[in-house]
Amino acid sequence: MSEISQSPTQRLYRIVEEAMCTGCGLCQSLAGAENVEMCKVASGFERPVVVGELDDSVVDQIYQHCPGIVIEGMPQRLIASDSKYDETWGSYRRMTLGWASDARVRFEASTGGALTALATHLLASGEVDFVLHVKASQQHAIFGQRHLSFDAADVWEATGSRYGPAAPLIDILEILERNQPFAFIGKPCDIAALRNYARQDSRVDQLVKYWLAPVCGGFREPKAVEAYAAELGMAPDVLQHVRFRGRGCPGPTRFESTDGRVIERRYSDFWGEDEAGWSLPFRCKICPDGMAEGADLVAADSWPNCTVDTEAEAEDPGTNTIIARTVAGQALLQSAADARTLTLGKAITPRDMDSYQPHLVNKKQAAAARIEGLMAEGHLGIQHARLRLNRLGEAQGIEFNREQRDGTRQRVREGKASEACPCSGE
């Protein structure tokens, strides 16, 4: 069915059915919660469900801003003329190792606790009134939920990475109506969604003072997490809370049940050693910007070849790699270091980042060909700009691109690039 013959509801659902939804929740805010609601659906994901009325003008806005199908790099106006540049990692001001100076934060939070420390610093300094990010969901053990932090205690409540669905932008229009300066911490696709929306709403650039993100290789499909927990003897109906990492680096993956049982497994055992076996949403497998090129500051792990040293795992205190991409990000990094909230280590380079995050480099090099494959099969694909995807792909050679393009086309034909219609919640 061509897009032009589809109803507004069908057009919205097409993004989901072609497995392009990232679950950011922006569509709920644009359409209004009385019309579109992010719900847990039969696939296990959190997806937009039409609960009211939609018209084409609203869906047009969603198509313009949805990060599943539109993703761009840093706005050119925010790239200072003296910034450094790398074809793979984009523009940046500084790359360094770093970690939370507070040993408790460094231990409790993910990796070295850099993003937790920066959020706390921004609130303590008064530079922002609150931080928009996510914490563990109170309704679904594997999910995250939108969270506003107004002080260090609020930030502490949200420590730890969430490797599951989370929709931080479900009420972003209401948040903007507060008319208060704030910082946003989100996945790279969440950052892209809000950057997209900023083109329409000038309040975004006025009020979002800092854009922070972790690099992201994707999250494990909720049903795969539930299956893993079930194998340990904790069925989905008794699963109350999942802590994916933290309390060490990377720290254990911890499952808690409604009857008080606790089961922990090593992070490396939870994910497995082979990336080919990771159970990721399709959109994560073709992500062109896990490096968060639209963020002021980006934090990541610092394991060579992205491999956890299982022998030293329990003793690793956690060290982040940190990329300050903009003047604002660089100033924040230095301010947090001067306040002794963040401790900075040695300088690193884009080639160090290649070693720490090889799977992100591989996906970025393959992205253009994979998008071509999607579109050749009649799928929406991804509109992209300022990410250099075509040049990165061309550098890999004709055969590489043919394999990526044809492999993606085959996945579409086999139904591996689709989801069921999210016609009702769970």
Q: What is the per-residue DSSP string for 42-57?
A: TTSSEEEEE-S---HH
Helix (H/G/I), strand (E/B), else coil: 88:
coil
Tokens 């959109």 label which residue?
283
Quick: pLDDT tens for 350-363. 999 999 999 999 99
- Tell me if 226 is assigned to some domain: no
- Tell me if 98 is assigned to some domain: yes
Who wins on pLDDT, 261 or 110?
A: 261
Quick: pLDDT tens for 99-118. 999 999 999 998 999 999 99
pLDDT at 1: 44
- Tell me if 62 is assigned to some domain: no
Quick: pLDDT tens for 132-142. 999 999 999 99
Residue 327 structural domain = 82-220+278-358
Q: What is the CA radius of gyration of the chain?
A: 20
How many domains, in total, are found in the chain?
A: 1
Residue 272 has pLDDT above 80, yes or no: no
Indicate the residue type of 45: F
- Tell me if 403 is assigned to some domain: no
- Tell me if 103 is assigned to some domain: yes
- Tell me if 265 is assigned to some domain: no
Percent of the chain with pLDDT over 70: 96
Quick: pLDDT tens for 45-83. 999 999 999 999 999 999 999 999 999 999 999 999 999
What is the distance between the terminal CA atoms of the chain, rounded to a whole angstrom?
A: 27
Quick: pLDDT tens for 210-257. 999 999 999 999 999 999 999 999 999 999 999 999 998 999 999 999
Indicate the residue type of 27: C
- Tell me if 282 is assigned to some domain: yes
Residue 21 has pLDDT above 60, yes or no: yes
pLDDT at 41: 95
- Tell me if 397 is assigned to some domain: no
CA angle, residues 69, 71, 73, in degrees to nearest 5? 170
pLDDT at 424: 59
Helices and strands of the chain, counted as H and E runs? 17, 17
Q: Whole-angstrom Cα distance, residue 11 to residue 63?
A: 9
